[in-house]
Structure formats: structure tokens, C-alpha cells
Chain A
Amino acid sequence: MKKKIGTSVFLCIMLLVLYLPIVILAVYSFTDATNIGAIRGFSMHNYVTLFTTPELLEMIGGTLILALGSAVLATFLGTIGAIGSFYSKKKVNAAISTINQIPVINADVVTGFSICILLVVVLGVSKDTFVPLVIGHVTLCAPFVYLSVMPKIRQMDSSLYEAALDLGATPFGALTQVVIPQIVPGIISGFGLAVTLSLDDYFITTYTKPATFNTISTYVVNATKGSQTTIKTALWALSTIIFAVVILFVAIVNFRTVKKEEAQDV
């Protein structure tokens, strides 16, 4: 009995450490407090500011478009990379997998900085074209897509592709009609990963973004340094919304897998 109480206490402490900061932020986002401290009263003004300030809306919209756009590109590149590597000779496959690992392990600062040097300094591409920014984000995300697609290709019965060819499909037809549908779960999770990575990224963005453009990450860092309290507290609201969306997403995904398992048990 004692042991049980011990484990529950431990679990509660861990959960508090993990979630209390976010809960505090969420609570404060619904008040008129200007600092984390005394609460004078309940208020929705943070949310009003968030959704009425054009600067904030523009920044959020830009971040989302960048995330989705670079995720689409990264998913495409990562998927065809994984398929190509899988159907290559063993040595080529091993080499590609190793090369793919490096950007994953490498520090983002280094990736961001080196892309900046190559594109902006050496090749003279203007940051204002968004090209360095998009390339930077795709570079960040594509290896992760590769990593999430690869296991699905490995799991796939290798004779499926041959069966399609055998039945008269061209290699391209077999790829699009048979192989891709088999690895869709990997592609989707790779896409999801790419979106979150792009949303989260700070280092690559700071090195490659146009001067007037900000993503949530770079904006938050700058805003916390500044003195505009209305904007600062509005960011509490933004954090709370992001957190709520994540919880909703995870809950839906988990609910669906549970349902699927139940269906398989029957």
C-alpha cells in the first residue's frame, strides 16, 4: 500500500513539473495582469489583442504558411529520397542513410549559419526572396521525413511492387498506385513532424529570414526583450491556443489508434 502511495506521489510531482508552467500561463492569459504576479480580474483582452493586432496576425499567418509550405516540400523530397534509397544497392542505401543522419544530429545553429553563408554570402541570394528561409526549413525537415517513411517501406511486403509490375503496371504506376498507398501513414507522420519542426525552429529562421519577416519563435524572442506589455501578454494567449490545439490533436490521434486496435481485436 505504501509503495502505491509513493508511486502516485511521484507521478503527481512529475506531472506538475511538466504541466504547471503551462497551466499558470494559461490562467494568466485570461486575466488583465501585466506581469506574472497579482491578478486583478478576469479578462479576455489578451485574446482580443491577439486577433485584432494586424502585426500579430500577419506573423502567425506567415509562420503557418511557411510551416505548411516547407513541410510539403520536405515531405515530397524526404519520401522520394527514402524510396530511392530503399531500392538502391545496399552500399548506396547505407551511404544515403548515413548522410541523412548528419543534419538530424547536427546543431541547428550550424545548419542555419552554414546555409546563410552558402546562399547569402557565397551565392548572393537575397534574404528578402524567402528562398534561403524556405531552403533552410526544408533542409531541417526533410531528413526527419526520410526517417519516418523508411520503416514503412521496410515493413512493406517487397513483392507488392513486383506484383504490380507483374500485372502490367509501369514502374511509375506501381510506385504511385501500390507503393505510395502502403507508406501513407509514414508520409503523414513525416509531414506532421515537418510542420512542428518548422513551427518550432528559431536558429535557422534567424539566420535566413528577411529582416521584416518574423515567425512565432523569432517574434516571441524579440517581444520578450521589448517593453510592449500588451503584445507580451497577448503572446500568453497565443501559447495557450497552441497548447490547446496540440492537446486536441494528440487526443484525436490516440483515440483513433485505440479505436483501430479495438476493431482489429474483433
Chain B
Amino acid sequence: MENTNIIELKHVTRSFEDGFNAVTDFNLEVKRGEFVTFLGPSGCGKTTTLRMIAGFDLPTSGEILLNGRSITDLPPYRRPINTVFQRYALFPHMNIYDNIAYGLKQKKTPKDLIEKKVKKVLSLVDLEGFERRNVSTLSGGQQQRIAIARALVNEPEILLLDEPLGALDLKMRQEMQYELKDMHDKLGITFIYVTHDQEEALTMSDKIVVMNEGRVQQIGTPEDIYNEPINAFVADFIGESNIFNGIMTGKCKVRFGGGEFDCVDDVAEGTHITAVVRPEDIEITAPEKGIVQGTVTNVIFKGIHYEITVTAGKNEYEIQSTKNAAVGNRVGLFVEPDGIHIMIAEDHTNVFYADINKDFRLEYNGHKIETSVTKIITGSRRLEDGSLVDAQGDVIDLNRTRIRVEIQPEDIEMTDEQDTGLVQGNISNLIYQGDHYSYVIQTDLEQDFVVYDEDLWNMGDRVSLIMPLDKMKFIYNRKK
């Protein structure tokens, strides 16, 4: 049987001398003619992966196969792969013709053939008659087209594009997206595209590879990735989403975000889950008709829709609706069962958010957590005027900054003495797991905690949760 994979990456890892792994165990198969996008935040290893395919970087371990043959150690100039660089990288000392002809000249193509090919590719990118122009006289968009033409004229088996539209303005970018897609369909060349822009990825790709911290998170079609994100990172990165930690409470019943919802995923009762609800899937109803009741706290007009924030207890819902809502109104929220995407939690790490109080101490449920904020936010320091700035020197708005706190279930201790713990609640679920019980404690703040304990407690028991300071992990996420 013929192998239709044009390029395969097998267990590719790239680590640097300081021990940092830019890419870890990357596996991917790309079919001939596919449009594949590497999507992820900056520093996720997508560009490094692209550079390894191009040959500018060599994998520390693993293999890259082109048409079934290893090209892992082949230098870039021997690979039938061409790249469109982020900042175009046109040769400023050559005119447009010489720029485009450069690759063909290296291959000792006859002159008249070069001329013909350059002409053809220039008409493909709609820049006929630009042969004698200088690079510096071109606009950003035109330079981008020349960069694409310069790569395409070599008729590569694979075209790599490293955030090629990053430097263009919005309008130009959208136009180029369609044009690139068009070129891809017309030429049948395999495209591998790198971007941090999820919309770009969804618009153009046949296959998206979502990456984070050097690892592949999910590979799938745009629809798969949007509708069935595999974990919270993917859900959060692709499109807007409301993400909640919750627990299965019955057959196709799930509790999260302060309410109990029907869902379509049949997951065993008592399983910890992460629920993803897209903002457009939440319906605002009259208070009594909603599953969750809350108050509208913010409304932003976005043109095609309103972006509405509803606060329900400790939970915040982001909603997109074509209907307006007034701030301060009491509303109900309803989600159809198929609007809820359930992901089984990979681990049972408890996650909650602590506020920063005026004394720069963390606060949760009215209790202080004795730790230094400047230690949590790396590079931050307090100025003489009492404000807190981060490593870049930007002031951190305490009212809008929350610190993510993580703690493992086995590190929390339950007690009857209500005042000794950080937070109080009732046991709402318990499962025996061989050598310990796994409890779910529904707290007064409508946040569920998972606790492992060897002793047996009863359903409904009211307990207080003691969390040792050294077991808590603090994470600061910079919010826009």
C-alpha cells in the first residue's frame, strides 16, 4: 500500500543546553496536499517545530520523514521545502525579479525558463510587471506576496509559513487568508502554517495542531477542535469559552458553575470533570426559567452581538447574545444539553482563585493566605508609592488580578472544627478508591473541592478544609 503521508514527525524533541525543552515528543502525520496549522501561544514551540521541518534547527531526538525517508539531518538547502518568513526576509540588494529567481538560479535552471516561471508566479500573486521594482518601494502586503512567490516558484513539496500575516493590518490579513487558501486549493501543495491567531487557523486549515509548552494538545479538524476540545487549554485557546470544574451527579447530569445541568455525555457519577460552555450557547431567560440565577454585571456592544457578563454567586458567565441586557438585571441562564462539553479531568487538582487585598496578601473566603505576592508574580516589585508592578514595569491592578491556587486532593485535611479551615462546606459525594475515600465537598462559595481521606465521613457532613501553605501552588496569569 502506498504511503500518502508526505511528512511525518516521530517523537521529535528539541531541547536546549540549559535543559529547556522547546518541543517535547511531537508526533504528526501530514497527508499530501493538506493545509495544516500549528496553533498556540508564543513560546509554545510551534516555530521551533517549523524550523526543524525546514532544517534550520535539528531535533535532539526523534525523526522527520519526508515521503517515508528520513530527512532529519539533511541541511535546509537539500530539502524540497520552502519557507515564507515572518518578516518576509526578501533580499534588499536585489530587485523583485532576482529575489524570485534566486532559488531557480541555485538549481541552474535555464534563463528563459526562469523568466517564464517568474512571470507566471508574479501573476499568481497579482503583482505582474513588478520585476524591476526595488524591495524597499513595496508595501508590507506586496512584500508578503513576493515572499510567497519566491517560495512557490521553486515548486516545493511543502510550503512552510511562519506567521506570515502577523505584520499586516486586519483588512489586509483577512484578504490574504482567502488568497492563501485559494492558492493552496489551486496548487495542491502541502501547506504548514504557524500562527497564534485562532481565527486564522479555523478559517484556513484542514487540520489544526494545538500546541502548548512544547507539547501537542490536540490534533483535529477546525470543527473538532472547536466543538470537542480535549482539555481546558484547548477550550480556552480556541474561541471564547466558559470553563468550570464540576462533577457528574447522575446519568447525563452534571453540576458546575452553581447549578445542575443536563448534558449529553454519559460519564460515571462522581467523576470530576471540566465543563466548557461557549458564550453563544448560553441563553438568558427570566430568573425562574434559568438553571442558574445571576445578575448582569457588564455589557459590551461588539457589533454583531453583545458581550454580557453575568455573575452568579462566585461564578462568572461570559455570554454572547444578539439581544441586549441591562446591567443590574436579575436573569436566569439556560444551556441546552448539547451546548455543554464535558471533559474528564486529567487530574483532580483543586483550583480556586484568591484575591489580592490592600496589604498585598492573598485572601480567600475572608481568610488571609500568608504568602508574598511579589514572590508569586515573578519579577514583580512594590514601588515606593505602594503600587505593584510586574517585570515589564506595568502596574498590576489589584482589583482585577486574581491568583490561581492549586492544591492536590491528598494535601487537604478535613476537620469538624469549623473555624480552623480556609473554607467550609458539606460532603456531597464519596467514592471508595481502594485505600482511601474520595470526597467532594460543596462549599458555601459554590466551589467544589476534592479531598482524599482514609477515614469514613458521612454524606452531608459539614466540614472545614485545612490547606497547608507549603502544599499550595500559586500561579499568576496576566489578564488583559
Contact = CB atoms under 8 A, between A and B. Distances in A.
Interface of A: 157, 159-160, 162-171, 173, 177-178, 181-182
A157 B82 CA distance: 18
B329 to A, nearest CB: 54
Contacts of A167: 77, 82, 102-103, 106, 150-151, 154
Contacts of A170: 77
Given A160-B89, A166-B54, A178-B91, 19 more contacts: A157-B89, A159-B86, A160-B91, A162-B76, A163-B90, A163-B91, A165-B55, A165-B56, A165-B75, A165-B77, A166-B56, A166-B77, A166-B81, A167-B77, A167-B102, A167-B151, A167-B154, A170-B77, A182-B93
Contact of A168 (B90, B93, B103): B103
Nearest to A161: B89
A174 to B, nearest CB: 8
A73 to B, nearest CB: 25
A164 B93 contact: no
Interface in B81-109: 81-83, 85-87, 89-93, 102-103, 106-107
Main secondary structure of the interface of A (DSSP, over half): helix
Nearest to A167: B103
Contacts of A171: 75, 77
The 9 closest A-B CB pairs, nearest first, are A167-B103, A168-B106, A163-B89, A159-B89, A165-B76, A181-B93, A159-B85, A166-B83, A168-B77
Contacts of A178: 91
A168 B107 contact: yes
Given A157-B87, A159-B87, A166 B93 contact: no
A173 B102 CA distance: 11
Nearest to B106: A168
Nearest to A166: B83
22 contacts: A157-B87, A159-B85, A159-B87, A162-B76, A162-B83, A162-B89, A163-B85, A163-B89, A163-B90, A164-B91, A165-B55, A166-B54, A166-B76, A166-B81, A166-B82, A167-B82, A167-B103, A167-B150, A168-B154, A169-B77, A173-B106, A182-B93
Sort chain B's interface into a size bin: 20 to 34
A163 B55 CA distance: 11
A169 B83 CA distance: 14
Nearest to B76: A165
A159 B86 CA distance: 9
Interface in B52-93: 54-56, 75-77, 81-83, 85-87, 89-93
B290 to A, nearest CB: 54
A166 B90 CA distance: 12
Nearest to B75: A165
A26 to B, nearest CB: 41
Interface of B: 54-56, 75-77, 81-83, 85-87, 89-93, 102-103, 106-107, 150-151, 154
Contacts of B106: 167-169, 173
A30 B249 CA distance: 109
B257 to A, nearest CB: 46
A32 B107 CA distance: 69
A182 B92 contact: yes
Most buried by B among A157, A164, A165, A177: A165
Contacts of B102: 164, 167, 169, 177
Nearest to A168: B106
Nearest to A156: B92
A116 B102 CA distance: 49
B134 to A, nearest CB: 11
A157 B85 CA distance: 11
Contacts of A159: 85-87, 89
A166 B92 CA distance: 17
A40 B76 CA distance: 76
Most buried by B among A160, A168, A173, A182: A168
A181 B76 CA distance: 21
A181 B90 CA distance: 13
Nearest to A264: B136
B245 to A, nearest CB: 43
Contacts of B83: 162-163, 166
A225 B90 CA distance: 60
Nearest to A160: B89
A33 B94 CA distance: 57
A23 B428 CA distance: 100
Nearest to B150: A167
A165 B154 CA distance: 13
B117 to A, nearest CB: 13
A156 to B, nearest CB: 9
Most buried by A among B85, B90, B151: B85
Contacts of B81: 166
B19 to A, nearest CB: 16
Contacts of A181: 91, 93
Contacts of B82: 166-167
A163 B83 CA distance: 7
A160 B150 CA distance: 13
A167 to B, nearest CB: 4
Nearest to A181: B93
A162 B83 CA distance: 9
Contacts of A173: 106
Contacts of B93: 181-182
Contacts of A168: 77, 103, 106-107, 154
A165 B76 CA distance: 6
A167 B109 CA distance: 13
Nearest to B54: A166
A164 B89 CA distance: 9
A162 B91 contact: no
Contacts of A162: 54, 56, 76, 83, 85, 89
A106 B264 CA distance: 79
Nearest to B91: A178
Contacts of B90: 163
B232 to A, nearest CB: 35
A164 B93 CA distance: 13
A230 B103 CA distance: 64
A232 to B, nearest CB: 49
A165 B90 CA distance: 13
Contacts of A169: 77, 102, 106
Contacts of A163: 83, 85, 89-91
B122 to A, nearest CB: 16
A173 to B, nearest CB: 7
Contacts of B89: 157, 159-160, 162-163
Contacts of B85: 159, 162-163
A164 B102 CA distance: 8
